[in-house]
Chain A
Amino acid sequence: MVATVLRIRFRVLGNTLAANPWQLVGYILGGVWALAVLFLAVAGLVAVGFAGLEPTRLVITAAGGVLTLVWVLAPLFVAGVDTTLDPQRFAPFPLSTRQIMVALAAGGLTGVPGLATLLAGVGTLAAWFHWPVALITAIVCVPLGVLVCVLASQLITALAAGGGGSRRTRELASIAIFAVLVLAGPIAVGVTQLARLASTATTPFGGIAGVIEGVSWTPIAAAWAAPGDLASGAVASGVLKLAIALATVVALWYLWRWSLVQQIAHPAQRRVNRVAAGTLGWFGRMPTGGVGATWARSLTSWTRDPRYLRQLLIVPLFPVIVLFYSRFELSSPFFAFSATIVAFLLGVVPYADVSYDGSAFATVLQTGIRGRDDRLGRLLGAAGVGVPAIVVVALVTVALSGRWDLLAAVLGSSLGLLLTGYAACAVSSALIVVPVPASGDNPFKRVPGASFSMFLSFFALWIGTAILAAPEIVLAIFAAVTGDALLGWLALAVGLVLGVVLAIVGVAVGGRVFDRNGSVLLQRIRSFKGM
């Protein structure tokens, strides 16, 4: 049965890649990258083995922990990894939950990341090779460690896909999980720094050794730490960590089983939310016509659709991340300029805005709306949320840092960047559509068909935005460096004027592209699955 499922999975992958040459290129590049990383990892493991037992223990424990974390987080961040094996598609077949789980786990293990992890795990044997006890233990521990990775990843996927509950609850829950995970990185860094401060640098690795020692008792690294402990004679702690690893696998298995049963047995229940008739929301407030209608629709999406809300999370989260990385120095100019960085990220968020319409884009096209009206409506909708958000972030971070002298520079560079980003998106979203979760789907659902060329075009757009907004950024930087208030005000003036001019140009150019290209966009959207 497992063999059949795996055969289908590789057949689907093969067919997908054969149909999409760019995806094949992306897949091959991914494979080459994995091989390169694997080569470096194994070379490093061999080298560290010669450096002695203590460094080997630390490095393998730390690397194992990081690897596990990546597996846990990847399903939430990486789009388009693997949706060929969706548990709910197994539901009509007479398979036991256990069979489905084995098939899914085998599927996870036989993908590029799974194989790379397995090989890297085997690579640790090259390092343990110097200590027979460690080598023998590792033969048990490596499979355990790899299993923890695969099972944890599957568990997170199942949890993120969500079973039961109302649509709204599920959506909010997944956004909350996302927020916690985004902050997990900075929190870990903060904890590490505290640990570093607390411990004295007696070992070759400084205070970090203490942290790794602590982490080695947690489920994410126990399997990778056990061989080293046993080899160094710490039999009790080695055996205990082995037990922790075993318990982790068992616990993950049952948790996963529980969440899968929830998911299969209680798929996406509907609890209907309704508002009173006559509640028109933004549609009652905006002027009639293509611009007003699109504006109201776009604003409704930005304020209510979880797929948009998810992208707005960077607004509150990013300043916090900057604060962590600037080591809680509130007065640091980096923190005061958080708004600029947020604007840089937020401005290019709608780079393929039409994708989120899905096939409902047909209802836009069939009204015969002029391209410039559509572009302007979408830009105003995005700006209706983006501009206040940036102003609030700028005011709050500047107030917290007390650098009121920088306010003009911060506002100028951030609003300029935001508007420039929107201008670029007005053009790009008339050209590009990407596969995104359909309306009503989990906003974190992994969507097949994202290709390497899409990432490239996004990246190019980002660079282009930065170049176009260079005048106000440079002025703002000079204002911060020299402390010259005039430069700050100049940055504000240049940012606003240039931003607005670019936005107008973007709407005009994007509108013409849209008029010509609209039906092609629709055709491409309809070629994506489930839109």
Chain B
Amino acid sequence: MTTPPANTPPLPVPDAPAGDASAALVLTGLVKRFGQKVAVDHVGLSVPVGSFYALVGPNGAGKTTTLSMATGLLRPDAGTAVVHGVDVWQHPVEAKRMIGNLADGIRLFDRLTGEQLVTYTGMMFGLPHDVVAQRTADLLALMDLREAAGTAVVDYSAGMTKKIALACALVHAPRLLVLDEPFESVDPVSAANIEDVLRGYTGSGGTVIVSSHSMDLVQRMCDHVAVIAAGRVLAAGTTDEVRGSETLQDRFVDLVGGRHRTEGPEWLRQS
């Protein structure tokens, strides 16, 4: 399963070492093809315990696909994903208990009210009812959703939906949080509140891996970053290592390329 087929090109980045006990998440040689297109091409990453790890890359770089494979939602064509020493695809039940996942672009069971949805998710992890009730109340308060607790999630705004999904990802107190675009369409106040919670979480030994398009946010919040483009890891390490003397934004553009300076076509100018 880990042997790459003969027709794939040589690896751009050495696969991360497996079995690293100090790592919360180790991805080794992950490959996913959709038909002819190779969406993820031998991605290897090692996410240290307690780190705030960012996955950045242009649209279609394979971030979501990588995270889906890391969390047990999409079976890789090759490679492994190991969470705290447990292989996600060999022992999915044990691995998934440790993962809190906020996947991007999926619906929720949106006929349920926000409160019911968080309760349901807690029950899925087998938490006792009283624990679920306490945690649900805490999370709704944390996400500023107490007012909307009894409203069906289908009637939530995009940002509220994101927040309730995040609450669901947190309810079983996972050791690893995998957040795909967590701050998209979340208002600034809620974003700041959530940021505080995530900082406290990593400070106490939890690990967060986020994918994001916002370089400013990554530079401010994350201590580690991996740049992915066209399904490959272009650079990975601590944020300071990756950006060097430049801003992360400039470094990202250097690595990924494709920036062009133009004021747009003639016909689009209004004067």
Residue positions of A touching B, CB distance < 8 A: 167, 270, 272-281, 283-284, 286, 288-290, 292-294, 296-297, 300-301, 304-305, 357-360, 362-370, 438-440, 515, 519-520, 522-523, 526, 531
Contacts and interface: CB of A to CB of B under 8 A. Distances in A.
A505 B115 CA distance: 35
23 contacts: A270-B155, A273-B151, A273-B155, A274-B152, A277-B146, A278-B149, A279-B150, A280-B119, A281-B116, A283-B123, A286-B123, A289-B124, A290-B124, A290-B126, A297-B112, A297-B120, A301-B111, A304-B111, A359-B106, A360-B109, A366-B103, A370-B93, A515-B92
B81 to A, nearest CB: 12
B82 interface: no
A283 B113 CA distance: 11
B110 A440 contact: yes
B255 interface: no
Given A300-B111, A439-B107, A439-B154, A366 B120 contact: no
Contacts of A304: 111
B127 to A, nearest CB: 6
B92 A439 contact: no
A366 B96 contact: yes
Interface in B84-102: 92-97, 99, 101
B101 A366 contact: yes
B119 A519 contact: no
B109 A277 contact: no
B19 to A, nearest CB: 22
A281 B154 CA distance: 17
B243 interface: no
A283 B107 contact: no
Contacts of B168: 363
Interface in B23-38: none
Given A362-B73, A368-B96, A522-B74, A272 B155 contact: yes
B251 interface: no
A75 B149 CA distance: 38
Nearest to A369: B124
Given A296-B120, A358-B107, A368-B93, A275 B128 contact: no
A20 B110 CA distance: 30
A274 B74 contact: no
Nearest to A374: B124
Interface residues of B, number: 46
Nearest to A516: B75
Nearest to A273: B152
Contacts of A289: 123-124, 126
A366 B123 contact: no
B71 interface: yes
Contacts of A367: 96, 121, 124-125
B124 A359 contact: no
Given A293-B123, A366-B101, A360 B108 contact: yes
B71 A366 contact: yes
A368 B75 contact: no
A311 to B, nearest CB: 15
A293 B129 CA distance: 11
Can you list the 8 inter-chain pairs with the closest CB atoms, starting with the nearest?
A: A368-B96, A293-B123, A277-B149, A359-B106, A367-B124, A275-B150, A274-B151, A366-B101
Determine the main DSSP class of A at the interface with B. Answer: helix
Contacts, number: 131
B107 A531 contact: yes
B116 A288 contact: no
Nearest to A370: B93
Contacts of B93: 368, 370
B107 A360 contact: yes
B132 interface: yes
B74 A519 contact: yes
Contacts of A369: 124
A513 to B, nearest CB: 15
A366 B73 contact: yes
Interface string B159-191: 000000000100000000000000000000000
Nearest to A362: B106
Contacts of B148: 274
B105 interface: yes
B44 interface: no
Contacts of A520: 75
A276 B150 CA distance: 5
Interface string B15-27: 0000000000000
Interface string B127-154: 1110010000000000000101111101
A365 B116 contact: no
Contacts of B116: 279-281, 283, 300
Nearest to B165: A363
B57 interface: no
B72 A368 contact: yes
Contacts of B155: 270, 272-274
A275 B124 contact: no
Contacts of A294: 124
A366 B128 CA distance: 19
B103 A283 contact: no
B95 A297 contact: no
B115 A277 contact: yes
B261 to A, nearest CB: 31
Nearest to A279: B150
A275 B111 contact: no
A300 B122 CA distance: 17
B59 to A, nearest CB: 17
B151 A365 contact: no
A155 B35 CA distance: 41
B263 to A, nearest CB: 26
A177 B121 CA distance: 36
A529 to B, nearest CB: 13
A363 B126 contact: no
A305 B111 contact: yes
B128 A288 contact: yes
A435 to B, nearest CB: 14
A275 B113 contact: yes
Nearest to B95: A368
A365 B73 contact: yes
B99 to A, nearest CB: 7
A515 B92 CA distance: 9
Interface centre among B92, B95, B146 (most CB of A within 10 A): B92
A523 B106 CA distance: 12
A391 to B, nearest CB: 26
Contact of B108 (A167, A270, A363): A363
Given A280-B116, A305-B111, A360 B127 contact: no
Contact of A296 (B97, B123, B125): B123
Given A277-B149, A279-B150, A362 B121 contact: no
A304 B154 CA distance: 13
A317 to B, nearest CB: 24
